[in-house]
Amino acid sequence: MRGMKIAVVGASGRMGRMIIESTLKDADAALVSAIDQAGTPAIGREAGELVGIPCPVPVTTDVEAGIAQADCLIDFTRPEGTLAHLDICRRHKVAIVIGTTGFDDHGKKSIVDAAREIPVVFAPNMSVGVNVVFKLLETATRILAEGYDIEIVEAHHRHKIDAPSGTALRMGEVVAQSLGRDLKACAVYGREGVTGERDPSTIGFATVRGGDIVGDHTVMYCGTGERVEISHKAGSRMPYALGSLRAARFLADKSSGLFDMQDVLGLR
């Protein structure tokens, strides 16, 4: 069997299908498990049918067996599901790439704890382009630290269940860290009514949900007489799938540890 053995959960979902397609086209990876929830129409079908590429791997509900035969699980599901899958990965010493967002502090701690035993890539956005933007934000924020108000605007499809997006929050964390601030103390997540003048020490967030927007993110540095914007717009989910496979390959020689896409791309 060629390359790294990959398991995918949420196989029939939008991201699941993208990851399956990317894996089947990757010369260094092999799809060994496609897992989905009971009752999903895809159960029992061949994974290749979901993406129009021949592949006899069946879509199954057996999470334990599916993960056990893989080198790495790629998970873009929901926090409660990802944490359950994480426990199975720990038992079987299987690496995991986590693209799920919306974890609370307890969930994040569970990921940190698991990374002491298995290798984990946990990132709010797997896109190579977005992670380059994170790096650009560090530089821009240091230069524009004084005299510029910083606002973060993000837009996603109507089905997204968390807001602001994990990517927008990570952008805010990058900006806050570059300013020497704590995002929890300076973030403003909504404005309504008579709010008074803007506090220059804050970082504002605005959220748009509608249609089939894959993911748009813009950080605005608003000064006197000028505005600097750093943006990323995703035209499809393919960049996230390709990035997740790159992350899986990064974990191939790791026995444990917590990493993100900045580590995967060598941007530290």
Going along the chain from its start, the domains and CATH numbers come out as 4-122+237-264 (3.40.50.720), 128-234 (3.30.360.10)
Amino acid identity for residue 222 in this structure: C
CA distance 53 to 30: 13
Residue 19 has pLDDT above 90, yes or no: yes
Is the CA virtual torsion 245, 249, 250, 256 positive or negative? positive
Residue 3 has pLDDT above 90, yes or no: no
Residue 227: count other Cβ atoms within 10 Å of its Cβ: 12
Spatial CA neighbour of 46 closest among 133, 38, 36: 36
Residue in 160, 184, 217, 254 annotated catalytic: 160
Rg (CA), the chain: 20
* Predicted pLDDT of residue 51: 96
Average pLDDT of the chain to the nearest whole number: 96
* Predicted pLDDT of residue 268: 80
| Mean pLDDT of all residues in 237-262 | 96
pLDDT digits (tens, 9 = 90+) for 184-199: 999 999 899 999 999 9
Residue 93 is among the residues annotated as catalytic for this protein:
no
pLDDT digits (tens, 9 = 90+) for 156-176: 999 999 999 999 999 999 999
* Predicted pLDDT of residue 257: 98
* Predicted pLDDT of residue 144: 98
**59, 47 contact by CB (below 8 A):** yes
| Mean pLDDT of all residues in 12-30 | 95
Percent of the chain's residues with pLDDT above 70: 99
pTM of the full structure = 0.85
Residue in 156, 217, 232, 254 annotated catalytic: 156
| Mean pLDDT of all residues in 125-130 | 94
| Mean pLDDT of all residues in 17-36 | 96
Question: Which positions ≥6 away from 218 have C-beta within 8 Å?
Answer: 152, 153, 154, 229, 230, 231, 232
| Mean pLDDT of all residues in 235-261 | 96
CA distance 164 to 155: 9
Residue 1 has pLDDT above 60, yes or no: no
Residue 108 is among the residues annotated as catalytic for this protein:
no
Alpha helix ranges (H) inside 93-179? 105-114, 128-143, 166-179
DSSP labels for 225-268?
Answer: S-EEEEEEEESSSHHHHHHHHHHHHHGGG-SSEEE-HHHHTT--
β 4-9/29-35 pair status: parallel
* Predicted pLDDT of residue 2: 63
* Predicted pLDDT of residue 238: 94
Which residue in this structure is represented by tokens 């496979």?
245
pLDDT band at 124 (very low <50, low <70, confident <90, very high): confident
